[in-house]
Structure 1
Amino acid sequence: MRKLLPLALTGLLAVSACQLVGGDDAGDEAHRLNSMKAFPLNAYLPDAASRDGKAVGTAQWILARQCMVRLGFTGFKTLDIRTVESTYPVRQGTLASGGKVGDNSPYGVDDPDLAAEHGYHNRQREESDSQPMEWPADQYTALTGTFETGDSRRSHGRTIPEKGCMGEAVGKIYGPEPKPTKIGGVRLSGYYSLPAQLWYQAHKEATKDPAWKKADRAWSTCMKGKGFRYPDPDEASTDSDWYRTDQPSRKEKKTAEADARCKLDTDYIKAVHAVESRAQKTVITKNKKALEDSRAADERAMAKARKIVDAQS
């Protein structure tokens, strides 16, 4: 499954150019459907931007702060949670600069004007303005439980939790972590592995549907008429040429612009979204109890997170 899993996991979406000027209904509809929120399974995934979602992030840092103090990092006693909430630690010296290939939509570029400007380097920022913070190696390893060669697994004489203070905090909020699963050969662990697994399964089935294949052919024919030869949008957006520079090349911009226009001209997004939504409804029906149990566990975790946050107020 292309861009969805990152997110995760990670992670993890017919008009002419002149018709787009001033806002076009078909273009607006394509953009609306090209979003995680437009799929049935999204109801079983957390909304990090919601009040409860933010409470979970804040509670995680509150508990992680306590853990770090316990490990001997006394400076964390005065850590202002507001400066780090909604972020995850980054090791000092590893923050990358420049653009990144890909975006956060299920079907890639859908706005010809934006594509002409950014190409496929159009990764959207999270709704939160919070940006990752870099931490010194000793603090980073204690926070995340992620080690490089030479890193100590102890801090100030105390053993660092298996998944660091951040992982320990999540465990206190959510409880025992579900067993890992594999999706497309990738080992996936975490509290939302079930809906992610089902999303991948539904996507895989959807791409086999004749209606999806027909949409790919129509898009490919449109692209060929503009001088570009790709069998489907995934092949265009993941062309290895785009990964060689931080900024989009002239060729990339032209390809992405044609990609977006052909999606609109052929109603590509509307067609494949309908197929994938049906596939998701099928897996939801077959796994209804497990999904409802997962959502109930999420609601319990959010309630626990709110109590943690309120206790600090």
Structure 2
Amino acid sequence: MRGAHETRELSGAERTLLYDAEQTLVRQCMRERGFRVWPVPRQPIADDRRFPYAVDDAGWAAKHGYGSDIQRRVEKLRATDPNRLYYAGLPPERRKAATAALNGTSPEGLSARLPGGGEVTASTEGCTAWAQSALYTDLPAWFEADVVTGQLPAMAQNQVRADPAYRKSVGAWAACMRERGYAYKNPDDSRAQFLSTEKKSGDTSREREIRSAVDEAACADDSGLSATAHRFERKYEAALRAKYRTAVESRLRLEHAALPRARETTR
């Protein structure tokens, strides 16, 4: 009989521990192969958040608007990433060797069927595979469980967006926003005004961004959009987790078993 700990969802701290342990193992492996890797935090910017339906945290909106300030910080981190700069500075042949050392020479040996169709493959060679094998012991099982479960959140969000009740709440949200002086058809339209690479014409000042985002959060609450979206998200996530129960339970089992190894690795 499986223990309760094997089906309990991991805490954020436990997931960070597994992430850090894998990074530690990858760095060790790459160093042995003559290459350098710098650690990257699991969440480099603490306030970086995703709102798949609408910004519905008024406090966050008052501080970050739609997150254009965070977007700029992410772009800066990417531009100054020591790993990126290191690999870019390697001679072509050396760069090719580093990529092979990290990911193997070809994506062969591991495969997983995507829930929506198609297949993902990866190499059993390279430091990434070695680190995951050391941490989770059963590399093929881990790869399959990781690939399958990694698809479920986006699938649930797509199902929420397609639900007639959600679409109706978007209409109520848009009406609420019109009363506040905005012509947005949906939350994607509002964030595109401030976050898209090619912003729409008009006043896209920081002050207007914050004002719009704060109003969006208020309308997400008043229209019922936020409550509807999260209620249906829980519903569809539960259904998907039941449908792909084998992969979900396999991942949890492997993660819980890996925690002691992760603690030992990062001591």
Letter in structure 1 aligned against 2:139: P
Question: Structure 2 vs 1, CA of residues 69 and 149 (structure 1 numbering), >3 Å: closer, same or farther?
Answer: closer
Give the letter for the 1:173 counterpart: L
Between the aligned partners of 1:231 and 1:139, the Cα distance in structure 2 is 44
Q: Which amino acid aligns with 2:50?
A: N
Contact preservation (8 Å) 1:46, 1:53: yes
- Residue number among 270, 293, 299 corresponding to 2:227 in the alignment: 270
Whole-Å separation in 2 of the counterparts to 1:148 and 1:260: 49
Instruction: Give unpaired runs (5+ residues) of structure 1.
Output: 1-42, 90-98, 126-130, 180-188
Name the counterpart of 1:200. Answer: 154
RMSD (Å), alpha carbons: 4.2
- Asked if the contact 2:57–2:217 (Cα under 8 Å) also holds between the matched residues in 1, the reply is yes
CA distance in 2, matches of 1:208, 1:85: 36
Name the structure 1 match of 2:217. Answer: 260
Is 1:135 paired with 2:82?
yes
- For 1:196, give the aligned amino acid: G
2:96 aligns with 153
What is the Cα deviation at residue 223 of structure 1? 0.9
Aligned ranges for residues 209-224 of structure 1 at < 5 Å? 209-224=163-178
Deviations 1:249-308, CA, capped at 9 Å, x for gaps: 343233222211211222221122112211222222222233112211222232332343
Is 1:173–2:127 an aligned residue pair? no
Distance 2:32 2:60 in 1: 48
The alpha-carbon distance between structure 1 residues 191 and 291, as it changes in their structure 2 partners (threshold 3 A), is closer
In 2, Cα distance between the equivalents of 1:114 and 1:58? 27
Alignment pair present for 1:230 and 2:184: yes
How big is each residue's C-alpha offset from its partner over 1:234-254, in whole Å with a ceiling of 9 and x where there is no partner? 221233665458x95343233
Structure 1 residues 55 and 205: alpha-carbon distance in aligned structure 2, compared to 1, 3 A threshold: closer
Q: 1:212, CA displacement in angstroms? A: 0.8
Paired letter, 2:148: L
Which has the larger displacement, 257-266 or 132-141? 132-141
Q: C-alpha deviations, 1:209-252, integer Å up to 9, x for none?
A: 2211121111011111122122221221233665458x953432
Question: TM (normalized to structure 2)?
Answer: 0.64
| Closer/same/farther in 2, CA of residues 122 and 282 from structure 1, 3 Å limit | same
In structure 2, list runs of 5 or more residues that go unmatched: 1-6, 72-76, 105-125
Contact preservation (8 Å) 1:112, 1:261: yes
Identity fraction in percent? 23
- The aligned counterpart of 1:57 is 19
Greater percentage in helix: 2
Alpha-carbon distance between aligned partners in 1 of 2:167 and 2:29, rounded to the nearest angstrom: 52
Match of 1:119 in 2: 65
In 2, the alpha carbon distance for the partners of 1:148 and 1:229 equals 52
Q: Once the two structures are superposed, what CA deviation does each residue of 1:93-112 show, in whole Å capped at 9, x if it has no partner?
A: xxxxxx9xx83344342244
> Which of 47, 52, 56 is the matching residue for 1:110?
56
Report how many residues are paired. 227
Q: Secondary structure at the match of 2:95?
A: coil
**Counterparts of 2:59 and 2:185, CA distance in 1:** 23
1:29 is aligned to none
Asked whether the equivalents of residues 65 and 209 of structure 2 are also in contact (C-alpha less than 8 Å), the reply is yes
Q: Secondary structure in 2 aligned to 1:264?
A: helix
Please give the per-residue CA displacement for 1:18-55, whole angstroms capped at 9, x wherever unaligned.
Answer: xxxxxxxxxxxxxxxxxxxxxxxxx88754x41x3343
User: For residues 135 and 242 of structure 2, what CA distance do their matches in structure 1 show?
Assistant: 28
Matched-pair contact (CA < 8 Å) for 2:129–2:139: no
Asked if the contact 1:120–1:248 (Cα under 8 Å) also holds between the matched residues in 2, the reply is no
Q: Which residue of 1 aligns with 2:103?
A: 162
Alignment of 1:69 onto 2:31: yes
